[in-house]
Chain A
Amino acid sequence: MSNNNPNNASGKDPHLLLQSAPLLHQKLTTPAAMKDVWIALLPASCASFWFFGISAVLILLTSIAGAILTEWIFTPTEKRRFALSDTSAGLTGLLLGLTLPAGIPLWMAFLGGMVSIGLGKVIWGGLGSNIFNPALLGRAFLLGTFPIAMTTWVSAGDLSDFFQLHSSNLALPFMQGQLDAMSEATPLGLMKFEQQVTSFGSLFIGNTAGSIGETSGFLIILGGIYLFLRNAINWRIPVAILTTAALFSLILLLVDNQQYPSPLFTLFSGGLLLGTFFMATDPVTSPLTPKGCWIFGIGIGFLVVLIRVYGGLPEGVLYAILLMNAATPLIDRYTQPRIFGRDKQNLKNNNKADK
C-alpha cells in the first residue's frame, strides 16, 4: 500500500475510503491546458529570438506584462490569485507579441496586451466568456490604431548580433518610432503588390520578413503537432482550415497560374499556420460540436484566401478568424447533435412543444 496516493493523505485505509460522485477525475485543468500551449509555442518563440534578436525578447515580454498587469488590475481582489494562476493572461500576451512586427515601439506592444485582456477578455466576464480571441482582438486594435507601425516589417536575420536593438523599439510612449533598419515587404506583400514569389525553403525555415512569431512554418507545425498529440486542440479545425485554403488556392492556381500563388505558398506564408494552430483552436471562441468545427474551419480557410486574393490587405488571417469567432454561437446553435435515444422527428416535435 503506497502512501503517495493523494486520496490517502489522511492516513485512512483506501479500501474503506468513501467518496461522493464524480469518482473519475479528469486530469486536464485550465492551468494544465495552458501549460501545453506554452510548451508548444516555445519553438516559435525561440525562432523569433534567433531571427529578430533582443527586439523580439523585449516585445514578447512587454506584451505579456501588459496583459498580466491588466488582468491583475481588473480582477476583483479575492479572485486575483485564482485568475492569474492559470497563466492564460500571459499566454494571450505571448500570442499577441508573436503577431507583432520586430520594429514596433514597445509601448504599443504594452498597449496591445492591455487591450487584449481589457477589451478582449475581462469586459466580457473573464476567461471562458469572451466572444473573440483576445490576442487577435488586441492585434486588430493595434492594426486599426497604428497602421504604419504595424505594417513596417524588418527582414529576419538582418542583425549583426543578438543584442542589436532597433531604435524604434525604444520610442517614448505616444511617440513615433523611427526605424533604423531597412524595412521590407512580407512574402505576402511581395506576392500581392509585386508578383514576387518567395522560395518555399525560406518560408519553411523562417528567414523572411514578417511578424516575429509567424515566419518559421516548420517550428509552428512542430508546436501544432505537440498540441495535437497532447489532445489539447480539436484536430478538425486545423485540418479543415488548411485543406480549404489549399483547395481554394489550387482552384485559383488552375484558373490563372500567373496571378495567383501556389497552395504551398498560401499555407506557409503569413500568419496562417500560427493562426490555425494557436488562435483558431482556442476552445473558448471555437464551436463545441464536431460538425461545427468543420464549418468553422472551412469558413476560416475560405475567408483567408478570399481576403488575401481579392481584399485590400495582403494578409487576411486576423479578420478571417475574428469573423468566424463572431459566427461561432450561431454555428453551435445550428449543429446541436441529436439527443441520444430520440429520432429527428421527435426532436422537432419536442422543440415545437417547448415553444
Chain B
Amino acid sequence: MMATDNIAYEEMIKGIWRDNPVFVQVLGMCPMLAVTNSAINAVVMGVATFFVLVGSSFLVSAFKQWIPKQVRISLYIIIIATFVTVVDYSLLAMLPAIHKELGAFIPLIVANCMILGRQEAFASKNTVKFAVMDAVGMSAGFMIALFSLGAVREILGVGALFGFDLFGPDFEPWVIMILPPGGFLTLGLLLLFFNWMTEKRKQFLIQLAEVDNETIKVKANG
C-alpha cells in the first residue's frame, strides 16, 4: 500500500515540475498566450482547465475497457466537451465579466492538446486513482504556468496584480506586455529560465555523482 501511495504521489508531483505541461512539454500554448494578459484571467482559465482535466481523466480511466480503440479520440472529445460546457455555463452564471473577457477561449479548452494528450497518453492506460492524481498534478502545473505568465504580464503591463495597483499613478505601463508580442516574449523568457534551472540541476547532479565515484574509488583503493 505504501509503495503505490508513493508512486501516486510521484504521478502528481511530476506535472508540477519535471513534466510541466507548459515549461517542459510546451503544450496548450493557445490559452497560454491568449488569456494571460492579467493574473485573474489566467487563474480562472487555470481553474477551468483543472476541472475539465480532472473530470475527463476520471471518466476516461473509469470507462476505458468499454471504449473501442477505433473511436477513442472522438469519445475523449465528447467527454471533454461535456465538462467544458459545464464550465462555460457555470462561469457565465458566476463570473459574467471574466466569462466575457475570456470569450472564445473557454469553449476552446476542448481543443487544448494538453487535455487530450493526458487522456491518450495516461488516463486510458492507468487506473482511476493514478489518472486523477496525474490530472491534478498536470493541471496544477498548467495553472502555475498560466499564473506566472499572467502575473508578469499584468505587473509590467498595467502595474497591478489582481487589479491592485502596485506602483502608484506615475507608473509607466509596458504596453507591449498586454499585447500578443508580450505573451510570446514572456513565455520565451520563462522557458529560458526553466531550461537554465534544469541544466544547472543536471550539472549539479553530475558533479555530485563524480564526487561519489571518487570517494568510492578512494575507499576501494584504501
Contacts and interface: CB of A to CB of B under 8 A. Distances in A.
A149 B172 contact: yes
Contact of A145 (B159, B175, B192): B175
B190 to A, nearest CB: 14
B193 interface: no
A175 interface: yes
A175 B175 contact: no
A147 interface: yes
Nearest to A142: B176
B171 interface: yes
B151 interface: no
A117 to B, nearest CB: 15
Interface string A118-129: 010001000000
A180 B141 CA distance: 48
B176 A144 contact: yes
A145 B192 CA distance: 21
Interface in B158-176: 159, 167, 170-172, 174-176
Contacts of B117: none
A162 interface: no
A105 B167 CA distance: 17
A174 B172 contact: yes
Interface in B177-192: 177, 179, 181, 185, 192
A334 interface: no
Contact of B171 (A105, A119, A149, A174): A174
A146 B174 contact: yes
A174 B167 contact: yes
Interface string B25-43: 0000000000000000000
B171 A144 contact: no
B176 A141 contact: yes
Nearest to A146: B172
Contact of B170 (A146, A149, A176): A176
Nearest to B155: A174
A119 B181 CA distance: 13
B175 A146 contact: yes
Contacts of B185: 119
A171 B172 CA distance: 10
Interface residues of B, number: 13
Contacts of B172: 105, 146, 149, 171, 174-177
B170 A144 contact: no
A171 B167 CA distance: 14
A145 B174 contact: yes
Nearest to A119: B185
Contacts of A105: 172
Nearest to A118: B189
B167 A175 contact: yes
Nearest to B159: A174
Contacts of B167: 174-175
Of the listed residues A119, A141, A147, A175, the one surrounded by the most CB atoms of chain B closer than 10 A to its CB is A175
Nearest to B177: A145
Interface in B8-39: none
Contacts of A174: 159, 167, 171-172
A197 to B, nearest CB: 32
A147 B171 contact: no
A145 B185 CA distance: 12
Contacts of B170: 171, 175-176
B79 to A, nearest CB: 41
Given A144-B179, A144-B181, A175 B171 contact: yes
Contacts of A145: 174-177
A126 B171 CA distance: 33
A146 B156 CA distance: 11
Contact of A144 (B159, B175, B192): B175
A175 B174 CA distance: 11
Nearest to A176: B172
Nearest to A108: B172
Interface string A61-100: 0000000000000000000000000000000000000000
Contacts of B181: 144
Of the listed residues A105, A176, A177, the one surrounded by the most CB atoms of chain B closer than 10 A to its CB is A176
B155 to A, nearest CB: 10
Of the listed residues B175, B177, B179, B192, the one surrounded by the most CB atoms of chain A closer than 10 A to its CB is B175
A123 B181 CA distance: 17
Contacts of B179: 144
Nearest to B170: A175
A277 B192 CA distance: 34
A119 B185 CA distance: 9
Contacts of A149: 172
B27 to A, nearest CB: 23
Q: Considering the complex of A and B, which 9 residue pairs feature the smallest CB-CB distances, nearest first?
A: A144-B176, A145-B176, A176-B172, A175-B170, A145-B174, A176-B170, A147-B175, A145-B175, A174-B167
7 contacts: A141-B176, A145-B174, A145-B177, A146-B172, A149-B172, A174-B159, A176-B171
Given A146-B172, A174-B171, A175-B167, 17 more contacts: A119-B185, A123-B192, A144-B175, A144-B181, A145-B174, A145-B175, A145-B177, A146-B175, A149-B172, A171-B170, A171-B172, A174-B167, A174-B172, A175-B170, A175-B172, A176-B170, A177-B172
